[in-house]
Amino acid sequence: MSPVDDRTREDPDDFQIVDLEQLRHSLLFVRHAVRRRRGRVIWTFLGLLGLAGGVLWVLPRSYHVESQLLAQRNTIMPALGNPSRTVPLDADTPTRAAAETVLRRDNLLALMKQTELMARWQQERPQLHRLKDRITEALSPQSDEDRVNAMVGLLEKQFRISTGESTISISIDWPYADQAFRLVDAAQQNFLEQRHTAEVSTIAETIAILEGHASNLREAIESSVEDLRRAKDPPSKADPAARTGPVFRRDPAREAIKAEAGQVKVMIDTKRRAINDLEEFRRRRLAELQAELAQARTVYADRHPNVTKLQQSISALQDDSPQLVALRDEERSLQNDLNRLANTRTDPVPLPTPQATETVPRKRSPGPLQDLGDEYARTRLRFAMEKYDVLLDRIDSARIELDTARAAFKYRYAVLRPPIPPRSAEKPKIPLLAIGAVLAAAVLSVFSAVLADLRSGRLLETWQVERLLGIPVLGEMPRT
């Protein structure tokens, strides 16, 4: 066997998965390429960093704000206040329909009005985004209603309402930090006021309705008693005024107007009670926030985020909430209806006056039919009085339930974690992206130098000559 065959024979023990010599040559080539094209590497690195900084500057931010409420059943106070209550346990779930309450369209519209979202959205938009909005508006113009609907859809998408066994979390991911805090803070306050209206004002409305029925029943009882008294003691012959006085006919239209006016009065009383309850709830909440602000100022400076957050919450509470505005509008509308019914009066229609010859009425002797009518009237009166007593008992129970619900509301809902103005964006992660941009710029700048050397077609390293020609290099001569 020839020596050449010995050299070319491969030894199985010398087999390597990675050619370490070639790897060393490649690393040296990269190192030398960076030296040879130092200017290219520096300018490429700086250009990529500038491009990454511009991208990060125009990249949309997303700020996360979250609030958590404690919502728990309180069955002790209602059970002690009214042991005969038969409300199902499922109906007393404080976390029921929390998402639907917050994401309801009228509530979202109220949030937009409270936070002045449409105006602030345009004011806080970056210049590049404003330019994009102008281009979009020029290509496809939108009406104000379309913009409002689009904003409502965006709020529905960005709000997150999650409920646990005894907690309610309200969170949002929003492009602007201040707007995100104001939206969550207003959503939390509106949710508490809506639950207060639903749980406390509903009982007050029930009491007003029961009192209206009791008033009507009391009038019916007094009328029945008066009819029985007149039937028992008819007018004497010596009293001509009693015989000849006008007798009025029942007018169904007049009675219907009177009944409708009574119902409207009941509804007005209901709305006024609801307004008073809600105003009292807001006053208590405002006092709590003012106490928290005074305590926070003893620890933090005036520009601290906690102090700023409390000041914004207090400022929002000093304005009328959408629930309060809606109740006052309803009260005003009902008052207008009551005034309209008061102006729509129908005079009673008297019966025909009897003839002059009939100056002395005939005296009817009591008979079986008259006795039967008197007995029927007494029975109806007894039933009415029993029903009236039942209504009074129900009113007393409802009033106890109302007082209990007012006292128990502050134990049913408590703020576990109030919303806090975010200090940094949740998305994108600017520090991580900045580190990644620096690393990517370094790698790409080095790669650009290596690629430029490879595409030049020149032999720049000794190992390139040896691999291309298959002979070892004996020496190198420096370029003069």
Among residues 251, 208, 457, which one has the least CA distance to residue 346? Answer: 251
Average pLDDT, the chain: 76
Cβ atoms of residues 392 and 215 within 8 Å:
no
In terms of domains, do 398 and 325 share one?
yes
User: Which residues have C-beta within 8 Å of that of residue 433, sequence separation ≥ 6?
Assistant: 52, 56
- Residue that terminates a domain, selected from 394, 417, 440: 417
Residues 297, 216 share a domain: yes
Q: What is the pLDDT of residue 357?
A: 42
More confident residue, 353 or 83: 83
Q: Are residues 53 and 146 in the same domain?
A: no
Q: Return the pLDDT at 157.
A: 92
Same domain, 127 and 228: yes
Same domain (yes/no): 51, 75: no
Contact 412, 191 (CB under 8 A): no
98-126 pLDDT, tens digit each: 888 899 898 899 888 888 888 888 777 77
Give the total number of structural domains in the chain. 2
Query: Alpha-carbon distance 299 to 285, whole Å?
Result: 22
Residue 4 falls within a domain, yes or no? no
The answer on 199 and 143 residing in a single domain is yes
Question: Is there a single domain that holds both residue 328 and residue 448?
Answer: no
Question: For residue 76, which phi and psi values (nearest 5 degrees)?
Answer: -75, -50
In a domain, 244, yes or no: no
Give a yes or no: residue 451 inside a domain.
yes
Residues 374 and 310 in one domain: yes
In a domain, 243, yes or no: no
* Per-residue pLDDT tens digits for 212-226: 788 888 877 887 777
Q: What is the mean pLDDT of residues 52-76?
A: 81
CA–CA gap between residue 47 and residue 52 (Å, rounded): 9
Per-residue confidence (pLDDT) for residue 172, from 0 to 100: 93
- More confident: 335 or 321: 335
Structural domain includes residue 120: yes
Please check whether residues 54 and 107 belong to one and the same domain. no
Tell me the whole-structure pTM to 2 decimals: 0.63
Q: Is 356 inside any structural domain?
A: no
Domain enclosing residue 46, as ranges: 23-59+428-480
Residues 335 and 480 in one domain: no
Q: pLDDT tens, 268-314? A: 877 787 788 778 777 877 888 888 888 888 888 877 777 777 777 77
Sequential DSSP letters for 23-70:
HHHHHHHHHHHHHHTHHHHHHHHHHHHHHHHHHHHHSPPBEEEEEEEE
37 and 72 belong to one structural domain: no
Give yes or no: residues 46 and 158 share one domain. no
